[in-house]
């Protein structure tokens, strides 16, 4: 019995595939809705999955134990009114606050001060504009995982003595010193001479924007050169991931105490970590996914209705065949299963085509643009499985109509 059912199943699959091959244009038009739905679903899932990995690896560089303290931060929907309010209410972070937190925090493993601006950098008459000029404490490299390709990073002595030394980003090294060691060379940073003491390894790009066009100088040298105290932020590492939230609360308490903020008054600074970015991203991708599901649902319903109409036509075309099978002993369940399998195989084929198109789309987008696309295996299974389910659902009515045909009436049908 099991062997007979297995043969019937594979025969139904063979008939469905033969029907697809015999009329390629009709099959394509029949499956167009399913193909579009599957392509859209997998393309959106690939984009979201790729962006999740991208955010985790490149945008959120704080690590599992790290967080940042900034003047203000928008994580989520942009609100211009709120931004202007924070701009008025939140004062700049200060070096004195940094020293206070550094001296008193017990749950903090490392805390670095960072400040930056954009400006020109020149070597031997060749000028590069809008380079990120970054001032940082010597422990910033360890916190941000900046690795040195040649030379060294900034030292405490560099910072304490306000020395005119710099670490070059890899873009500048490739431009000016492609075949020679940059260490010891002099570059003009915003009109001031700096000696190159190190070159950072390439970090790559984020959304097509390079991360390697920068010059890092000691924080105290930065303050001496520019005087202004604007744009300071702190990068902090907790003593362990299990202490991350307590470390954030401790830093928040210390800054509030330094600023003499009374209980009940909101923070006039912001603290965020990798989880904050991930949560904000999840909220945004949730809206994208909801929109995609709505579009996919419309395509799937349209595709399912078309498949149902085609299967009704197939039943009409094969009425005599159904009569012959029933006269030879086929049961209603056999006829029902045959047409359900054919409907499912038909729609699953559309799902497979959709997967292939989505894969090609993802490869093209990843190769030609900075947008990350990564197709998870689960999306392939979901796309094909969903299309097959639609085929089964919309194939029930035609299959029932076929199974209820009277064998004598069916045999009288014209060929």
Whether 188 shows a pLDDT value over 70: the answer reads: yes
Looking at the fold, whether 156 and 259 belong to one and the same domain comes out as yes
Looking at the fold, whether 101 and 204 belong to one and the same domain comes out as yes
Q: CA–CA separation, 362 vs 86, rounded Å?
A: 40
SS (H, E, C) the chain: CHHHHHHHHHHHHHHHHHHHHHCHHHHHHHHHHHHHHHHHHHHHHHHHHHHHHHHHHHHCCCCCCEEEEECCCCCCCCCHHHHHHHHHHCCCCCHHHHHHHHHHCCCEEEEEEEEEEEEEEEECCEEEEEEEEEEECCCHHHHHCCCEEEECCCCHHHHHCCCCEEEECHHHHHHHCCCCCCCCCEEEECCEEEEEEEEECCCCEECCEECCCEEEEEHHHHHHHHCCCCCCEEEEEECCHHHHHHHHHHHHHHHHHHHCCCCCCCCCCEEEEHHHHHHHHHHHHHHHHHHHHHHHHHHHHHHHHHHHHHHHHHHHHCHHHHHHHHHCCCCHHHHHHHHHHHHHHHHHHHHHHHHHHHHHHHHHHHHHCCCCCCCCHHHHHHHHHHHHHHHHHHHHHHHHHHHCCCHHHHHCCCC
Whether 172 shows a pLDDT value over 90: the answer reads: yes
222, 243, 268 - which closes a domain: 268
Looking at the fold, whether 283 and 264 belong to one and the same domain comes out as no
pTM above threshold 0.85 = no
pLDDT band at 34 (very low <50, low <70, confident <90, very high): confident
In a domain, residue 85? The reply is no
205, 240, 268 - which closes a domain: 268
What pLDDT shows up at residue 413?
57
In a domain, residue 226? The reply is yes
Greatest mean pLDDT among 6-15, 100-109, 204-213, 376-385: 100-109
Look at 107-121, 207-221, 307-321 and tell me which has the smallest mean pLDDT: 307-321
Whether 209 shows a pLDDT value over 90: the answer reads: no
In a domain, residue 327? The reply is yes
Of 287, 298, 291, 300, whose CA–CA distance to 354 is shortest? 300
Looking at the fold, whether 250 and 290 belong to one and the same domain comes out as no
Looking at the fold, whether 200 and 258 belong to one and the same domain comes out as yes
Look at 18-27, 80-89, 185-194 and tell me which has the smallest mean pLDDT: 18-27
Higher pLDDT, 144 or 184: 184
Residue percentage of the chain with pLDDT more than 70: 81
Q: CA–CA separation, 88 vs 268, rounded Å?
A: 10
In a domain, residue 164? The reply is yes
The domain total for the chain is: 2
Looking at the fold, whether 130 and 250 belong to one and the same domain comes out as yes
Greatest mean pLDDT among 49-53, 272-276, 306-310: 306-310
Looking at the fold, whether 47 and 142 belong to one and the same domain comes out as no
Looking at the fold, whether 259 and 283 belong to one and the same domain comes out as no
Q: Residue 351 burial (CB < 10 Å; 0-12/13-18/19+)? A: buried
Looking at the fold, whether 101 and 172 belong to one and the same domain comes out as yes
CB 382 within 8 A of CB 296: no
Q: Which residues constitute the domain of residue 192?
A: 91-268
214, 241, 268 - which closes a domain: 268
State mean pLDDT over 66-80: 74
In a domain, residue 182? The reply is yes
Residue with tokens 């100088």: 217
Higher pLDDT, 329 or 267: 267
In a domain, residue 154? The reply is yes
The phi, psi pair for 140, rounded to 5°, reads -65, -35
């Amino acid at each position: 019995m099991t062997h007979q059912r297995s043969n019937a199943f594979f025969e139904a699959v063979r008939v469905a595939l033969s029907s697809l091959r015999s009329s390629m244009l009709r099959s394509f038009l029949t499956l167009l809705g399913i193909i579009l739905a599957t392509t859209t679903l997998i393309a959106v899932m690939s984009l979201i999955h790729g962006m999740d990995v991208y955010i985790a690896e490149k945008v959120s560089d704080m690590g599992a134990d790290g967080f940042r303290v900034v003047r203000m931060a928008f994580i989520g929907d942009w609100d211009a009114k709120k931004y202007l309010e924070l701009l008025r209410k939140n004062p700049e972070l200060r070096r004195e606050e940094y020293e206070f937190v550094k001296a008193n925090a017990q749950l903090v493993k490392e805390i670095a001060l960072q400040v930056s601006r954009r400006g020109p950098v020149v070597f031997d008459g060749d000028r590069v504009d809008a380079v990120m000029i970054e001032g940082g404490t010597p422990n910033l490299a360890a916190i941000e995982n900046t690795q040195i390709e040649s030379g060294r990073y900034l030292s405490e002595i560099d910072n304490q003595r306000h020395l005119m030394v710099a670490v070059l980003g890899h873009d500048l090294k490739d431009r000016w010193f492609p075949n020679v060691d940059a260490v010891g060379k002099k570059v003009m940073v915003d009109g001031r001479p700096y000696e190159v003491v190190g070159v950072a390894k390439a970090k790559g790009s984020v959304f097509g924007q390079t991360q390697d066009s920068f010059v890092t100088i000691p924080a105290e040298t930065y303050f001496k050169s520019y005087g202004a105290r604007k744009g300071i932020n702190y990068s902090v590492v907790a003593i362990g991931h299990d202490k991350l939230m307590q470390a954030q609360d401790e830093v928040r308490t210390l800054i509030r105490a330094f600023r003499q903020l009374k209980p009940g008054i909101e923070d006039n600074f912001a603290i965020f970590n990798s989880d904050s970015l991930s949560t904000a991203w999840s909220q945004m991708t949730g809206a994208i996914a909801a929109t995609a599901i709505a579009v996919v649902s419309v395509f799937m319903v349209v595709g399912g209705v078309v498949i149902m109409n085609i299967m009704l036509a197939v039943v009409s075309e094969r009425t005599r065949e159904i009569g012959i099978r029933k006269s030879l002993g086929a049961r209603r369940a056999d006829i029902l299963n045959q047409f359900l399998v054919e409907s499912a195989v038909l729609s699953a084929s559309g799902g497979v085509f959709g997967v292939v198109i989505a894969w090609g789309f993802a490869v093209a987008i990843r190769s030609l643009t900075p947008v990350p696309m990564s197709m998870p295996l689960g999306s392939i299974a979901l796309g094909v499985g969903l299309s097959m389910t639609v085929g089964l659902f919309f194939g029930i009515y035609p299959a029932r109509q076929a199974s209820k045909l009277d064998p004598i009436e069916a045999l009288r049908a014209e060929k």
